Amino acid sequence: MNVSDFDYDLPEELIAQHPCDKRDQARLMVLDRRSETITHDNFYNLTKYFHSDHLLVLNNTKVFSARLIGQRETGGKVELLLLREIRENLWEVLMKPAKRLTIGSGIFFKDSGFSGTIEKNLGGGRGYVLFHCKGNFMETVERLGSAPLPHYINRNIEDQDIREVDRTRYQTVYASELGAVAAPTAGLHFTPELIRKLRDNGTEVVEITLHVGPGTFRPLIGERIEDHIMEDESFYLSPEAAHSLNLARLKGKKIVAVGTTTTRALETAIALYPKELKPCSGSTNLFIYPGYNFRLVNKLITNFHMPRSTPLLLASAFAGKSFLYSAYGEAIKKAYRFLSFGDSMLVL
């Protein structure tokens, strides 16, 4: 398959720069694969679509304030995005600008007790930075850093008030397991009240973990989809979640994945244990694109994705490319809000 087959023209004005005032006020486009019909609703009406024969799976990963602004020894500004911990205080980072950052050079932050030294250049703007911290590293990062919003959202990240709002809104209300550098955005629309209503109407709700990495924003490069390699992301399926999923399968319940990250974690787990799910953890680079046979997920809640992106390919695999692109065309005509802070889609 060609990467160009998964391109489309996304009007810049439809890229949501801010979330809705209330999380569940987002619009909801509902795709029925069986009848190939499209209906329009709001996310707060989600309880209309799920009942006691459904199990809803949430990704409870928590985004940390992975974007740091520092200064080079010469005084110039440098921006770091923390990607993954290599060992204590040594992190793989994405640096911007990267050209003037050389091995051994220092990076300094507002807190005099926090600095970094570039240890290795990996190319492509990536490198290893050894941080020097007098206190707790993650507490310091949370205090000095800002939410790692995607590049298409414009922000003055040095404004403290804006940073605090983004810390809250670029996070699901059920986030509990720290470790993501991007939010599982399909879950941003849920409120505690909506989750309570879902449970009250008989919908079972369970949580799993997949720590979303920077690869979620990486566009497909090259000509052939099959040549793309996903970056590893860590996941965890708890004993409680495995038990609930196994019981749901025995009862014939429909498994509803909230987001592409949840979908990839579930499909990874079922590939490991096809007969009966077991608690498991590790890393996954599962790449789902059209032609993939879904073995566990029956329904999908997701946002509207970037052209030439891996989440778009997963949604195309689940809904069917032709049907999905018809829905995207209608979403553009009806001025739906796209991407991380945008509206939602439910694929039945």
Pairing outcome for strands 77-87 and 67-72: antiparallel
Where are the alpha helices (H) located in 62-120, listed in sequence order?
none
How high is the pLDDT of residue 300? 99
pLDDT, one tens digit per residue, over 276-311 is 999 999 999 999 999 999 999 999 999 999 999 999
- What percent of the chain has pLDDT above 70? 99
Distance CA 285, CA 81 (A): 21
pLDDT, one tens digit per residue, over 222-243 is 889 999 999 999 999 999 999 9
Give 3's contacts (C-beta < 8 A, 6+ positions apart): 220, 221, 222, 223, 224, 225, 228, 308
Class of domain 3-63+172-347: alpha beta
Rg for the chain, CA atoms, rounded: 21
How high is the pLDDT of residue 28? 99
How high is the pLDDT of residue 214? 82
pLDDT, mean over the chain: 94
> Is residue 114 predicted with pLDDT exceeding 80?
yes
The mean-pLDDT minimum among 15-19, 46-50, 86-90, 212-216 falls in 212-216
| Average confidence (pLDDT) over 68-93 | 91
| Average confidence (pLDDT) over 23-52 | 98
- Domain positions in the chain are 3-63+172-347, 67-145
Q: Which uninterrupted H or E stretch holds 71?
A: strand 67-72
How high is the pLDDT of residue 344? 99
Report the CATH superfamily, name and number, of domain 67-145: QueA-like (2.40.10.240)
For 3, the 3-state DSSP assignment is: helix
Whole-model pTM over 0.85:
yes
With cut-offs at 50, 70 and 90, classify the pLDDT of residue 164.
confident
